[in-house]
Chain A
Amino acid sequence: MICSVIAAALVSAAAQVAAPAPAVPPDLAEVKRQLEELRLELEAQRAMVEANVAAQEQVHKEPSLRLYGFADTGLQKYFLSDRSAGNYVLPSDETTFVLGNLNVYMDAQATPDWSFLGEIRFTNYPNLSAVACTPGQECNLRTTSTLDITNPSGSWGEIYWGTTIIERAYVQWRKSDAFTLRMGTFLTPFGIWNLDHGTPTLISLMVPQFQNFGFFPTRQTGFEALGTLHGDIWTLDYVASISNGRGPALLDPTNDKMFGARLVLRRGLPFPFALGLSGLTGRHSDKRPVFISELPFLFERRETVSYRETTVGTDVSLDLGSLRLRSELAYKVYRGKPGQRELAFNRPYLRVPDHDEWAFYLLSAYQLPWWGLEPFVYFEVFRYPTPLSDGELMPSAGLNIHFTPAVQLKTQYLYIRLVNFDDLLGDGPAANNVHVLGSRLVIAF
Chain B
Amino acid sequence: MWRRSFVMPVAAAWLPGGGEILAVDDSATAELAVIVHPKVPADKLTAEQLYGIFTVSRKDWSADLRVVVFNLSPDDKIRVAFDRAVLRMEPENVGRFWIDQRIRGGAKPPRYVPDPALVVRLVERLPGAIGYVPAKMAPSSVRIVARISQNKVVSP
- A residues contacting B by CB (< 8 A) are 40-41, 43-44, 47-48, 50-52, 54-55, 68, 70, 105, 112, 117, 119, 168, 176-177, 187, 195-198, 200-201, 228, 230, 232-233, 235, 267-271, 320-323, 367-370, 402, 404-406, 444
Task: Indicate whether A51 sits within 8 Å of B52 (C-beta atoms), given known contacts A201-B99, A320-B14.
Answer: no
Main secondary structure on chain B at its contact with chain A?
A: helix
Is B15's beta carbon under 8 Å from chain A?
A: yes
Whether the pair A233, B48 counts as a contact (CB closer than 8 A) is yes
B12 CB contacts on chain A under 8 angstroms: 369
Chain A contacts of B52 at CB under 8 A? 230, 235, 268
B96: chain A residues at CB < 8 Å are 402, 405
Q: Does B103 lie within 8 Å of A48, measured CB to CB?
A: no
B residues less than 8 Å from A270 (CB atoms):
16, 88
Taking residues whose C-beta sits less than 8 angstroms from the other chain, chain B's interface range is 35 or more
In the complex formed, the residue of B with least CB distance to A118 is B105
Bound together, the chains give a CA A176 to CA B60 distance in angstroms of 7
Q: A51-B122, A168-B105 are in contact. Are A369 and B16 (CB under 8 A)?
A: no
In the assembled complex, B13 has its CB within 8 A of some CB on chain A = yes
Whether A55 touches B128, Cβ cut-off 8 Å, given contacts A44-B122, A268-B48, is: yes
Give CA–CA (A117, B107) in the complex, Å: 12
Do residues A405 and B92 form an inter-chain contact, with CB atoms below 8 A?
Answer: yes
Q: Which chain B positions have C-beta within 8 A of A402? A: 92, 96
Please measure, in the bound complex, the distance between the C-alpha atom of A332 and the C-alpha atom of B55, giving whole angstroms. Answer: 34
A369 touches B10 (CB 8 A): yes
B103 pairs with A70, CB closer than 8 A: yes
Report yes or no: A230 in contact with B14, Cβ–Cβ below 8 A.
no
Please give, as numbers and ranges, the residues of chain B lying within 8 Å of A233 by CB-CB distance.
Answer: 48
**Least distance between A321 CB and chain B CB atoms (Å):** 4
B113 at the binding interface (Cβ < 8 Å): yes
Q: Is the CB of A269 within 8 A of B47?
A: yes
Q: Which residue of B lies closest to A117 (CB)?
A: B105
Inter-chain pairs besides A235-B52, A270-B88, A405-B99, 5 sampled, C-beta below 8 Å: A44-B118, A48-B126, A51-B126, A322-B13, A444-B99
- Cα(A271)–Cα(B87), bound, Å: 9
Closest 3 pairs (CB-CB, A-B) = A405-B95, A198-B103, A44-B121
* A233-B48, A321-B13 given; A197·B111 CB < 8 A: no
Task: Give the A-binding residues of B (Cβ under 8 A).
Answer: 9-10, 12-16, 18, 46-49, 51-52, 55, 57-60, 63, 66, 68, 70, 87-88, 92, 95-96, 99-100, 102-105, 111, 113-114, 117-118, 121-122, 125-126, 128-129
B69 nearest CB neighbor, chain A only? A51
B18 CB contacts on chain A under 8 angstroms? 321-322, 369
Chain A min CB distance to B87 (Å): 8
Whether B95 pairs with A369 at a CB distance below 8 angstroms is: no
Cβ–Cβ < 8 Å partners of B103 in chain A: 70, 196-198, 200-201, 444
Q: Which of A50, A117, A323, A444 contacts B111 (CB 8 A)?
A: A50
Q: How many A-B residue pairs have CB under 8 A?
A: 123
A44 near B125: Cβ-Cβ < 8 Å: yes
B13 touches A47 (CB 8 A): no
Q: A48-B122, A51-B122, A370-B9 are in contact. Are A321 and B99 (CB under 8 A)?
A: no
Question: A65 CA to B136 CA in the complex, in Å?
Answer: 39
Contact between chains at B14 and A196 (CB < 8 Å): no
Shortest distance between the CB of A128 and any CB in chain B (Å): 27
Docked-complex contact A269 and B88, CB < 8 angstroms: yes
- Which residues from chain A contact B118 at a C-beta distance below 8 Å? 40, 43-44, 47
**Smallest CB gap from B47: residue in A:** A269
A369 interface neighbour in B13, B114, B122, B126, Cβ under 8 Å:
B13
Q: Which residue of B lies closest to A367 (CB)?
A: B13
Query: Quick one: which of B87, B88, B102, B105 has the most chain A CB within 10 A?
Result: B105
> What is the bound-complex CA distance between A105 and B121, given in angstroms?
34
Residues on A with beta carbons closer than 8 Å to the beta carbon of B16: 270-271, 321
Task: Determine the distance from Cα of A271 to Cα of B16 in the docked complex, in whole angstroms.
Answer: 8
| Complex CA–CA separation, A168 to B122 (angstroms) | 36
B80 to chain A, nearest CB (A): 14
- Check A268/B51 contact, CB under 8 A, given A405-B99, A444-B103: yes
Q: From A112, A177, A270, A370, name the one whose CB has the most chain B CB atoms within 10 angstroms.
A: A177
Report the bound CA distance from A178 to B55 in whole Å: 16
Q: With contacts A177-B60, A320-B14, A367-B13 known, is A271 near B100, CB below 8 A?
A: no
Check A47–B104 contact: CB distance below 8 A: no
Q: Which residues of A contact B46 (CB under 8 A)?
A: 232
Measured CB to CB, the closest approach of chain B to A50, in angstroms, equals 7
CB distance from B27 to the nearest CB of A (A): 20
The complex places the Cα of A402 from the Cα of B97 at a distance, in Å, of: 13
CA of A37 to CA of B149, assembled, Å: 29
B68 touches which of A54, A195, A370 (Cβ 8 Å)? A54
CA distance A233 to B52 in the complex (A): 10
Cβ-closest chain B residue relative to A370: B9
| Residue in chain A with minimal CB distance to B54 | A268
Partner of A271, one of B10, B57, B88, B104: B88
Query: Which residues of A sit under 8 angstroms from B128, Cβ to Cβ?
Result: 55
Q: How far is the CA of A44 from the CA of B18 in the complex (A)?
A: 35
